[in-house]
Structure 1
């Protein structure tokens, strides 16, 4: 009861904060309907957001483009200095951010803190590396010594970021940081459920020195704002479902703009016969139930070797049953709430369908309205038949299925038997074997003895999906340079690369053939 009382108190305080922050939403005029915002902790409305229109998108892109032209004139070092100051503000003011994130999403405070860490880590990396990535670089010219060639990177212009509700800080601001350092303006189309988190972060960015109007936020329904946004921006970053991602990619293709898409997953975890069972159990807890399973990188399929299956399953079930469910702003909760009633209904439907088809519930399996209106127990299933919807489709909740396998080869085959390829993990005490297995799994990231934190947290390495899990990459040099247009500038110092007069064309061809043979020998 104390948690519920605390949730209501904090939600009331959030209402005041919300009214102030919503003034940062870009609006072309004052006439529009509002969309209610519900706090998952209580199921009660805590405010409204404007239902944005195409005119709002026009206004947002126009403002971001105008501000971006001046921003691009600053040096990369100056732009990075603003993000550096933002890094410090995020850490200093994390309690304010955590309260807003939790109020909008219902997640546990530790899960909200992961978002703060992600933003700080991403900011630090691109502050340190971004200016160097944008420095003009010399490349090999057409003719050695005679040709001087360099590559420069220019901002694309305005970057549109369509962000989801499950990680409203990390999957909006962390994608914007490299775009800003690259010299672009940014327009966010935030999820209707979680717009205030991005608005709070924007407030901190501007406090750090980001020019007014450089980042814009439009709020409302994706079905009404997505298409006009893609029609007006110069690059589009989208995180969401595979179904919607296909639509986004098709429109971006028609407009001949580039895009990066992180989409759905049905991520496998492989537990080999030599795995440390305790390590594997902790990995399964983290991989399956972090953020109540509302994580694109979550493990939803566990393939465990038959020789360790009983020991692993017994300990995994026992540990899962000790997890503390809760709603509230303290640090005691292990598994928080799902974000909405609609999503709770989807998770319940997946589990009920699997059980009806013959699956066995080893732990959990029920909604817990006594804890919170959208809370669902951490759930472990076995004997899930292929006919069950959750066998192949992403549940995106605190639900995982265990399958026994008889060999490494079978585990790899089953792991790859999916249209998705976002994340995977392998548990083994043999490092060489772990890497050999990892490279055979068709996923953009693979962790060894870790569910997802090591791979996603390695910001210097690219992260993204294969197959139907997306295109493009965030993190690393790829995560910044995608927001630029590469330009090659080549200076020919000894006349044009063409037959000089009056040399006959045939002699020119012989001369150049000889030169190609020489260049091959000396390269």
Structure 2
């Protein structure tokens, strides 16, 4: 695998970093040094918040939320669309920040900025349509009318990981703002600059500063304090942490949406073009070096197509260009941290020790950067290996042979996770049958993840141990409001209150029920 030159000079500067990190709600002097994956060298100093800082941010957000909710849909729409335009105007800077913090390629950073803009535009334009009040059928026609309105939940807590900091922040924060909520967001250290730059565009567009606060720090301190105080919590991360957050939210009787782990499966049927399928599989597995909850880690290939597909996959990955250039010169980037590299090496060593074989990759690339690792495909993976069922979340995929569509579907479903799945086939009928049978929150046909990931009008989330709730689409907006039912007595027909009135109306009520059933009135 070839390596390009070192990173280019970025539009981002130390002065900008310091300016952005001044926006973190942090009253103390505790800071951490955040490195850049491309070199492992320090990128910037990030202040850390305390539990008291979280409490202060939530208290200010509660006051700001009252005015923000009263501003109404039209005003929020105007502000959010202005923020959308600022994101596009700052496209180059946002791309730089995403790359410097995550180690992604330029092309993979484009996905993040495009997604953030798409989410902003969608929620600005859809919020009024989805959340406006509506009449509902009354229980007793003529006697009452019934209407449902939606009330913003209040202050939403958002806990965002490092891997897709910009786009995942937008997916949770923007619909909350569009619904009239305020947000206190815990940013991961490795993605804080991207989040702070995103927030700044929204503040400059007119979102009140206190209505979107950013805090940083450890999950055990800042994350716990946030979950203890907000009216709703959004979390993206590991299943283990998600379970703990769900338990805490449950004790407080507040809602939560959780996008958690995945061990996503790609099924390659025997009617594909093997070269095209190999290119699709390579990107679906190793975009962001596999550090994406919806990327593929298991490839089930029909035996009849396995040989040409495997050759094409090995050739494609073997010729891929690794690097951290801030230009469009790299196919794959870096792992994000030393811990990520260690996890990948642990999974690989365990698999090889138990008999797996490397088809392609399998080596760290310190000549390119400290945390680079070649995209790696294994075969001969068995159930006693960690890589078989555990989420690697980086740089390793396993290839398995199957003899039928049904065998592939059963194998894909044999996982505790159910976040995303992919089917490569030329047959719409086979694709539809597989999509209906796969146990996953989203299924992509002839794509790895980007079809569903970019469809911001459609819900995104997981089943089984991959989470609860949905982001994006109307479902993503509705999680941030409470429905309120308002029924009004019309005075045209009085409901019974005394024994005599009930006696007189008991028969007519039974007749009314029969008539409503006959005319199929819900």
Is the aligned partner of 1:268 residue 2:265? Answer: yes
Give the aligned partner of residue 438 of structure 2.
441
- Is contact 2:64–2:182 with CA below 8 Å preserved after alignment? yes
Instruction: Determine which of 412, 415, 419 is the counterpart of 2:412.
Output: 415
Shift of 1:108: 0.8
Which SS does the other structure have where 2:461 is aligned? coil
Contact 2:351 2:381 in 1 (8 A): yes
> For residue 116 of structure 1, what is the aligned residue in structure 2?
113
Matches of 1:255 and 1:494, distance apart in 2: 41
- d(CA) in 2 for partners of 1:121, 1:19: 28
* Mapped partners of 2:63, 2:404: distance in 1: 59
Aligned partner of 2:295 among 272, 295, 298: 298
Tell whether 2:387 aligns with 1:390: yes
**1:334-353 → structure 2 map (5 Å cutoff):** 334-353=331-350
Cα distance in 1 for residues equivalent to 2:396 and 2:503: 72
User: 2: distance between equivalents of 1:483 and 1:54?
Assistant: 24
> Which residues in structure 2 correspond to 1:457-468 (within 5 Å)?
457-468=454-465
Which runs of 5 or more structure 2 residues have no equivalent in the other structure?
Answer: none
What is the correspondence of 1:96-135 to structure 2 with a 5 Å cutoff? 96-135=93-132
Q: C-alpha deviations, 1:278-317, integer Å up to 9, x for none?
A: 3321220121011111111111000111111111111111
1:181 matched to which residue of 2?
178
How many pairs were matched up?
519
Q: Which residue of 1 aligns with 2:83?
A: 86
Equivalent of residue 68 in structure 1, options 65, 78, 97? 65
Alignment of 1:16-165 (within 5 A): 16-27=15-26, 29=27, 31-165=28-162
* Equivalent position to 2:229, from 213, 218, 232: 232
- Tell me if the contact between 1:14 and 1:103 (Cα under 8 Å) persists in the aligned partners: no
User: Which has the higher mean CA deviation after the structures are superposed, 243-252 or 38-47?
Assistant: 38-47
Cα distance in 1 for partners of 2:451, 2:372 equals 28
Q: Deviations over 1:94-142 (max 9, x none)?
A: 1111111111111111111110010111112112211111211111111
* Kept after mapping to 1: 8 A contact 2:3/2:368: no
SS of the equivalent of 1:503 reads helix
Look up the match of 2:472: 475
Choose the corresponding residue for 2:163, options 145, 157, 166. Answer: 166
| Structure-2 change in CA distance of 1:2 and 1:380 (3 Å) | closer
Q: Matched residue of 1:152: which SS?
A: strand
Corresponding residue of 1:15: 14
Give the match's secondary structure for 2:70: coil
Once the two structures are TM-superposed, the CA of residue 2 in structure 1 deviates from its matched residue by 10
Out of 275, 278, 288, which is 1:278 matched to? 275
- 1:210-249 C-alpha deviation (Å, 9 max, x unpaired): 1221110001111211111011100100000001000010
Report the CA distance between 1:87 and its aligned residue: 1.0
Shift of 1:496: 7.9
Equivalence for 1:380: 377
TM superposition shift of 1:32: 3.3
Alpha-carbon distance in 2 for matches of 1:487, 1:87: 31
* Matches of 1:477 and 1:61, distance apart in 2: 26
Residue 52 and residue 406 in structure 1: after superposition, are their counterparts in 2 closer, same or farther (change >3 A)?
same
Equivalent residue of 1:100, what SS? helix
Structure 1 residues 497 and 35: CA distance shift in structure 2, 3 A: farther
Alignment of 1:200-279 (within 5 A): 200-279=197-276
Answer whether contact 1:14 1:100 (CA < 8 A) is retained: no
- Whether the 8 Å contact between 2:242 and 2:258 is mirrored in structure 1 is yes
Tell me: CA distance 1:252–1:504, structure 2 relative to 1, closer, same or farther (3 Å).
same
Rounded Cα–Cα distance in structure 2 between residues aligned with 1:94 and 1:142:
53
Q: Which moved more, 1:38-47 or 1:506-515?
A: 506-515
Instruction: Check if 1:319 corresponds to 2:324.
Output: no
Query: How far, CA to CA, are the matches of 2:87 and 2:244 in structure 1?
Result: 34
Given that residues 39 and 369 in structure 2 are in contact (C-alpha distance below 8 angstroms), is that contact kept between their aligned partners in structure 1? Answer: yes
Q: Contact 2:459 / 2:470 at 8 angstroms: preserved in 1?
A: yes
TM-score by length of 1: 0.96
Q: 1: CA distance between counterparts of 2:318 and 2:143?
A: 71
1:199 aligns with 2:196: yes
Unaligned runs of 5+ in 1: none
Q: For the residues of structure 2 that align with 1:343 and 1:433, how far apart are their CA atoms?
A: 37
Superposed CA deviations along residues 38-91 of structure 1, whole A, max 9, x for unmatched, are 111111112221221101101111111111111111111210111111111111
